[in-house]
Structure 1
C-alpha cells in the first residue's frame, strides 16, 4: 500500500512539471502569436493555456487518490486520478472545438500576410521543450502505471506535434503560401480532439470496469498452471486507479484441508505478483469433485 502511495506522489512531480511548462510556453506562444499575426501559433498557445487547467485537474486527482481508505471508500480513492484524466479530456475537447471554429471563421476572411519568421522559431523551441517534458512523463507514467500521468504524457506529445506542425506551416507561409498557416491551425484542432478522444476512451473503459481480454487470458493461464488448481470456475479483473484487481474462483481437491487450500491461494498470489506485477488478488476456493 505504501509503495502505491509513493508512486502516486512521484506522479505529482510530473503534473507540476507540466503545469510549469505550460504556463511558460503558453505565455510565449500567445504573445509571439499576437505580435506576429500567426494563427497556428496562437491556436497552439490557446491549447497550452487550457492544458494548465487540465494538468491542475490531474494534480488534484493524484492528491485525492493518495487519501487512505475510509468508511465510504473501502478500496481507497485510487480512481480519482482516472476521473481527473477524464475531466482533462473534456477540457481538451472544448479547446479543440473552439480552435476549429475560429480557424474556419478565419478561412472565410483570409489574410494575405505571412507571419513573421520569429513565430516559426518560437514554435520550434516550444516543440522541443514540451517533447522533453513528454519523455519525462511517459517514463513516469509507465513506471507507476498511472492513467492520469499517461493522459498528461499523451497531451505533452500531442502539443509537441502541434508545435512542430505550426513551425512547418509558418515556414511554408514565408514562401508565398500564407494559407498554410491557418491550415496548420486546423490540423492543430483536429489533433487536440483526437488526443482528447483517446484519453476519454481509455478512462471510460477503466471506469466501467473494462479490462483487456488478452491480458486476462494470460493471467488465467498463470492461475491454471499453479499446482493444486483443478479448475478455474470464474476469473475477472478491473482497473482501480494505478492498480489492477483480480478476482478468481478456483476448484481444488475436496480432500484438502483449510491450510493446504490456503497454501495454493498464496502460491497463486505470488505467481501473479511476480509474472504480472499485480498485488491485489482475491481468491475464492470451492471443492472439486470428479463429477464437476
Structure 2
C-alpha cells in the first residue's frame, strides 16, 4: 500500500524560516544597489589598469546571482498548476545553475585576460587629473572605487553564507562565493594599482591571475553540483562537499519504530526541499493508513525540508533499496 504525503506545494518554508527568507531577499536587493553604484564608479576611474577593468567586469557579472536568487524567490512561492504539478521548487536549482555559470565564466575571463596581459608584457599607466587646481594621481580615485566595490561584499557575503546554510539555498551560497570573488578581486586591484604606482607593471595582472584560479575552481565545482541536482543525484550539503545525512537518519528513525522490520529511503533535491520515496516493511498488516501517517510525522519532526514523500508499505525490499535501508 502506498500514499503520498506532503505539505501544500509552494509553501515549503516553515514559519521559523520565513524571517531568514525575507532577510535574504533584502540582502540581495542591497547587493544590487552596491553593484550598480560600483559599476558606475569603477567605469569613471578605471583608466588603463587591467585589475580595474577586471573589477568592472566582475561587478557586472556579480549582478547575475542576486537577480537569479530574487527571481527564484518569487517563483518558488507559486502554487502548483496543471502544467507544473510539482510546483516551482526547481526555480531555486535553476538559480543555482545560473549563479554557478556566472562564477565560472568570470573566473575563466579573469584568468584569460590576466595571462594575456602578462604574455604581452603590457605596461599600464595611471595618469593625473586636475581637481580644484591641483594635480591628483588617479590611483587614489581607483583605490577609493576598489574599496567601495570590495568592502560591502565582505559584509554581505558573510550574511549570505549564514542565510544559505539556514535555508539550504545553494543559489544563495554560490552568490556568497561570488561576493568572495568580488572582494578578492578588489584586493588584487589594490595590489595592482599600488604596484603600477611603484613601477611594478606585472603586479597588476599577476595578482588578478592568482585569484582567477581560485574563482574558476569554485565555479567549476558548483557547476558540477548544479548539474547533479538537476539529474536527481542524492542530496548534498549546501556547500556541495559531502552527502546530506538526512536519508540515512530518516531510515534509522523509521527502523526504530516497533512495527517496522526494515525501512529504505530514496531522496532527491527539489530546490530548497527534499522529495522522494520511503519503503517500509512492516511486521504485520495492521493499521496501514495510521502507519503511513506516522511515517509522515517522523519525517516532519526530523527535517523541515522533507515536504513531499511517497510512502509505500511493501512485503520486502529490493536489492537496490536494501542497500540504502536500515533494519530494526
Look up the match of 1:23: 36
Unpaired segments ≥5 residues, structure 1: none
Please give the residue correspondences for 1:193-208 in structure 2 after superposition, counting only pairs within 5 Å.
193-208=216-231
**d(CA) in 2 for partners of 1:66 and 1:176?**
55
2:123 matched residue in structure 1: 111
1:56 aligns to 2:67 (yes or no)? yes
8 Å CA contact 2:49, 2:125 repeated in 1: no
Aligned to 2:260: 229
Greater shift after overlay, 172-181 or 243-252?
Answer: 172-181
Q: Tell me, yes or no, if structure 1 residue 279 matches structure 2 residue 310.
A: no
Alpha-carbon distance between aligned partners in 2 of 1:223 and 1:172, rounded to the nearest angstrom: 62
Aligned to 2:325: none
CA distance in structure 2 between the partners assigned to 1:190 and 1:102 by the alignment: 12
Structure 2 residue aligned with 1:158: 181
Structure 1 residues 61-140: aligned runs within 5 Å: 61-107=72-118, 108-111=120-123, 113=125, 116-140=139-163
**CA distance 1:3–1:111, shift in 2 (3 Å):** same
2:269 to 225, 239, 246: 239
Q: Are residues 8 and 121 of structure 1, via their aligned partners in 2, closer, same or farther at CA, if it must alter by over 3 Å?
A: closer
Which whole-Å CA distance do the structure 2 matches of 1:27 and 1:185 have between them?
A: 21
Residue segments in structure 2 that go unaligned for 5+ positions in a row: 1-7, 127-137, 237-242, 317-328
State how 1:258-273 maps to structure 2 within 5 Å.
Answer: 258=287, 261-273=288-300
Q: Deviations over 1:74-110 (max 9, x none)?
A: 2101101211221232233333333333333322042
CA contact (8 A) 2:189 2:208 kept: yes
Deviation larger for 180-189 or 93-102: 93-102
Q: 2:45 aligns with which of 26, 32, 36?
A: 32
**Matches of 1:3 and 1:246, distance apart in 2:** 15
Aligned-partner SS, 2:257: coil
CA distance in 2, matches of 1:3, 1:79: 12
Moved more, 188-197 or 178-187: 188-197
Q: What CA distance in whole angstroms lies between the structure 2 residues aligned with 1:157 and 1:98?
A: 17
Normalized per residue, the structure richer in helix is 1
Let me know the Cα RMSD of the aligned residues.
2.7
Do the aligned partners of residues 8 and 282 (structure 1) sit closer, same or farther apart at CA in structure 2, a change above 3 Å counting? farther
The Cα offsets for residues 235-265 of structure 1, whole Å up to 9 and x where unpaired, read as: 2100001101141100112242x3xx33333
Give the Cα–Cα distance (whole angstroms) in 2 for the partners of residues 188 and 83 of structure 1.
27
Q: TM-score, normalised by structure 2?
A: 0.76
3-state SS of 1:236 partner: strand
Aligned 8 A contact 2:49 2:124 in 1: no
Matches of 1:70 and 1:119, distance apart in 2: 51
